[in-house]
């Protein structure tokens, strides 16, 4: 592997590598060694134990990382502790034009910042003055002891302030590159490198990181290695002691953004199945958002189609299950999920890829709506499965347990509307009311083009909607159980519709 002994330095290094853990350069420079690792990452932890022992490091401890699904992540977002998109946390714009830009802080990045924030507090409150921090996929290079001995001389001579009481950060290892050469001259500079895989800090610098923390406004590595240091506090050591094994070569899966290099590594080691799964994960992974003013939700696809037509008649491009210039209209994007079964472009696959200013809900009379849902549930197994899973996840209602297709469709519609209403949409309107409510909303938000102030062909208010599927009969409605009838009445009362024929409507 790439961190093994470099023969050009074998003789010089051998004596150091054979030294005991208590007398080697690692122990002389660092009072404490911490390996940041998720508790569930048993493969990475196993690597760290074996690899660091091989490299002659003294005793170290694992520091349990915060997982991305930890409640602390949602709490940080809810408390306003996280910079949210828009704009991009990197460039401050809505869109830099780069298709693969990571322009918002994903949960794993937030969790990483929380992890390091906890670590800085732990170091600042402890007694160890000089702490080495490694990540669990670290790859220490064979020339590291030689570099450490040179570094120790610089510290002893007072040229690098890595001593108790001083605020000092040492950047010691980053993504594998041309700088990772043992025959490169030793030097210590202030060049910035993102060195989370291997870095060291004094207790005083840990306290400075805490004191200067103004919220999760960037990634943890950029904060501690670039934004937080003052002149003379942060030093970068060349050649770097270490690199990583996930970002650089893919021998471990990345815990932040899945990497294509992982598939390359897996294929090279004969695991094509795992490589393909990783490629699918890379394709699904969202690290860039698109901002649009509008996210428009309907309970079913045909309602969404009618809503889109209303916006188009107003001169506003809201794409049906695709990204339009003003927004997206979709039924599935009512929820946070991995895959919209009706998506027509990559941006409509998941609303995790979207940021919007206003969420809107369009509804229609319950009879044609449930008729369309019944048809969709039969014609599209993926559509029904998506709705079923999300209703169960968010409301605890098992659609499969509902006996009749009509009752199941009623609960599908009312549940979906409740899910959207719980998100406090900016506007709710009925498609039967024509375009006037849509145009009024757009005009009030400055979204209505001047040319659309007079619409030559406006949908007539009160126009009935007749889907190309049979409507439930009066006998069908009358046969519903009492709980489902309550749902029908709730829908009619909430949105101002009369009850279907057979129920007093």
Average pLDDT of the residues of the chain = 89
Kind of pairing between the strands at 290-297 and 61-64: unpaired
Backbone angles phi, psi at 386, to 5 degrees: -60, -50
pLDDT on residue 8: 37
β-strand partners of 427:
360
What pLDDT digit, counting tens, does each position of 337-367 carry?
Answer: 988 999 999 889 999 999 999 999 999 999 9
Per-residue pLDDT for 102 more than 60? yes
Instruction: Please say whether the beta carbons of 341 and 376 come within 8 A.
Output: no
What pLDDT digit, counting tens, does each position of 431-446 carry?
Answer: 999 899 999 999 999 9
Count CA atoms within 13 Å of residue 42 on its CB side.
0
pLDDT on residue 306: 84
Domain boundaries, the chain: 7-244, 258-288, 292-495
pLDDT on residue 218: 97
Quick one: pLDDT band at residue 377, thresholds 50, 70, 90? Answer: confident
The mean per-residue pLDDT over the stretch 73-94 comes to 94
First to last CA, the chain: 76
Q: Which of 54-58, 153-157, 306-310 has the highest mean pLDDT?
A: 153-157
pLDDT on residue 465: 53
Where on the phi/psi map is residue 123: left (φ > 0), alpha (ψ -120 to 50), or beta?
alpha
**Coil, strand or helix: which one is 322?**
coil
pLDDT on residue 468: 65
Torsion of CA 122, 124, 126, 128, to 10 degrees: 110
**Coil, strand or helix: which one is 63?**
strand
Backbone angles phi, psi at 213, to 5 degrees: -70, 120
pLDDT on residue 7: 33
Buried-exposed string 326-347: b where 16+ CB fall within 10 A, e elsewhere:
bbbbbbbbbbebeebbbbeeeb
Which CATH number describes the domain made up of 7-244? 3.90.550
The mean per-residue pLDDT over the stretch 463-479 comes to 78
pLDDT on residue 466: 58
Rounded-to-integer distance, Cα 341 and Cα 13, Å: 58
- Find all residues with CB under 8 Å of 205, minimum gap 6, and list them: 166, 167, 168, 169, 233
Backbone angles phi, psi at 289, to 5 degrees: -105, 155
Query: Crossing angle, helix 301-313 and helix 366-379, to 10 degrees?
Result: 120
CB atoms within 10 A of CB 381: 11
Instruction: Please say whether the beta carbons of 422 and 334 come within 8 A.
Output: no
Rounded-to-integer distance, Cα 169 and Cα 235, Å: 6
């Amino acid at each position: 592997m790439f961190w093994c002994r470099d023969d050009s330095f074998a003789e010089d290094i051998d004596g150091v590598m054979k030294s005991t853990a208590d007398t080697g350069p690692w122990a002389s420079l660092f009072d404490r060694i911490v390996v940041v690792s998720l508790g569930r990452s048993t493969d990475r932890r196993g690597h760290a134990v074996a690899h660091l022992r091989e490299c002659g490091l003294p005793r170290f401890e694992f520091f349990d990382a915060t997982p991305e699904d930890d409640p602390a992540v949602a709490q940080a977002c809810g408390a306003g502790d996280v910079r949210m998109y828009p704009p991009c946390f990197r460039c401050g714009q809505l869109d830099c034009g780069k298709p693969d830009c990571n322009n918002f802080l994903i949960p794993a990045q937030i969790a990483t910042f929380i992890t390091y924030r906890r670590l800085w507090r732990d170091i600042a409150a402890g007694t160890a003055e000089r702490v080495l921090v490694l990540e669990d996929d670290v790859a220490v290079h064979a020339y590291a002891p030689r570099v450490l001995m040179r570094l120790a001389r610089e510290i002893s001579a007072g040229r690098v302030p890595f001593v108790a009481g001083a605020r000092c950060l040492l950047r010691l290892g980053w993504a594998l590159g041309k700088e990772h050469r043992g025959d490169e001259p030793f030097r210590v500079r202030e060049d910035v490198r993102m060195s989370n895989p291997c870095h060291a800090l004094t207790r005083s610098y840990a306290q400075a990181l805490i004191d200067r923390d103004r919220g999760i406004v960037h990634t943890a590595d950029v904060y501690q290695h670039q934004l937080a240091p003052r002149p003379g506090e942060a030093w970068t050591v060349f050649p770097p002691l270490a690199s990583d094994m996930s970002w650089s070569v893919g021998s471990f899966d990345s815990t932040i953004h899945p990497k294509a290099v992982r598939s390359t590594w897996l294929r090279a080691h004969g695991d094509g199945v795992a490589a393909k799964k990783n490629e699918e994960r890379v394709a699904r992974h969202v690290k860039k958002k698109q901002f649009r003013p509008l996210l428009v939700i309907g309970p079913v696809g045909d309602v969404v189609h009618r809503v889109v037509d209303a916006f188009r008649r107003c001169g506003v491009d809201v794409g049906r299950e695709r990204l339009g210039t003003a927004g997206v209209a979709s039924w599935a994007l009512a929820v946070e999920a991995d895959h919209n079964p009706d998506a027509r472009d990559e941006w409509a696959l998941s609303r995790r890829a979207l940021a919007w200013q206003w969420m809107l809900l369009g509804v229609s009379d319950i009879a044609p709506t449930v008729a369309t849902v019944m048809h969709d549930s039969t014609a599209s197994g993926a559509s029904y499965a998506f709705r079923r899973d999300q209703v169960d996840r968010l409301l605890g209602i098992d659609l499969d347990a509902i006996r009749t297709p009509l009752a199941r469709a009623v609960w599908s519609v009312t549940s979906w509307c409740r899910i959207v209403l719980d998100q406090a949409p900016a506007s709710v309107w009925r498609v039967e009311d024509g375009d006037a409510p849509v145009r009024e909303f757009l005009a009030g938000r400055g979204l209505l083009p001047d040319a659309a102030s007079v619409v030559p062909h406006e949908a007539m208010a009160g126009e009935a909607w007749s889907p190309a599927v049979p409507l439930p009969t009066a006998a069908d409605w009358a046969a519903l159980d009492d709980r489902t009838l309550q749902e029908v009445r709730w829908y009619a009362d909430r949105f101002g519709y009369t009850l279907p024929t057979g129920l007093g409507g």
